[in-house]
Amino acid sequence: MALAALSSASISGCLTSALYKPRASDEVYTEQVGQLYVTADQKSLVVLGKKYHYVILVEPELLQAIRSGLHAKMQAEFLPVHVGMFKTLDGEFVLKIPGLGQLDPHELNEAQALGFVASAQQDALLHRYRIRGSRFESAKDITGFQGNTLNSTYTLQVSAYREKSKVTQVLLTPVTVTADGVLMILAAPLLPVAFMVAQPFRVK
């Protein structure tokens, strides 16, 4: 499976050394993202930034929401993500269905069955998903190979642990591009999330 192979590759020597100027604080940056991919085994989401790639474990409940009839009403948002010492990432991903008064009883029941909770303050149904995974460094920017899954780009805010020494370890991305422009991860194709749904996310 892609996820198991990815973990194995990380342990078996995907680490290389890189140099940078020492700083006392975390590295803080943003990524503008316009596409989400899912691995062929549908166990991970892949976010491609210009310098970094993020492979995120998928909760089954998130896939159920993406495939549901409510998907066209949803807005997607990443809350700030932290990358730890060993390039592991942790954060939250939020799906929001705005307009409580505009949903019919069937839609409300479906949303509640998917784990959405009503927020009167935001006039919306919300579901927060914890995201866990790994950050990988890309040798070159391959964001040009992305399709147009989202209606527009969204911002991924990242704070990353920064070593105080001059030598640190980076994980090289397992994502590659074939000669005909197909995105692959460990010899398996990456599928745009749009293939799983009838309509794309709206972006908050």
**pLDDT single digits (tens) 2-36:** 454 454 344 333 433 343 343 447 889 998 877 78
Please report the pLDDT score of residue 106 as a whole number. Answer: 94
Average pLDDT, rounded, for the chain: 79
Please report the pLDDT score of residue 163 as a whole number. Answer: 74
Please report the pLDDT score of residue 148 as a whole number. Answer: 45
Predicted confidence (pLDDT) at residue 90 exceeds the cutoff of 50 = yes
Question: Does residue 181 sit within a domain?
Answer: yes
Question: Does residue 20 sit within a domain?
Answer: no
- Exposed, middle or buried: residue 101 (CB in 10 Å: 0-12, 13-18, 19+)? exposed
Query: For residue 151, what pLDDT band results from cuts at 50, 70 and 90?
Result: low
Question: Does residue 61 sit within a domain?
Answer: yes
Please report the pLDDT score of residue 187 as a whole number. Answer: 83
Question: Does residue 38 sit within a domain?
Answer: yes
Question: Does residue 150 sit within a domain?
Answer: yes
Residues pairing with 52 in the sheet: 137
User: What are the pLDDT digits (tens) for 97-144?
Assistant: 999 999 999 999 999 999 999 999 999 999 999 989 999 998 888 877
**How many structural domains are present in the chain?**
1
Question: Does residue 188 sit within a domain?
Answer: yes
Question: Taking residues 132-160, what's their average pLDDT?
Answer: 78
- Looking up tokens 């006392």 gives 24
Six token digits for residue 26? 């975390």
Share of the chain above pLDDT 70, in %: 76
Query: For residue 152, what pLDDT band results from cuts at 50, 70 and 90?
Result: low
Question: Does residue 5 sit within a domain?
Answer: no
Question: Does residue 99 sit within a domain?
Answer: yes
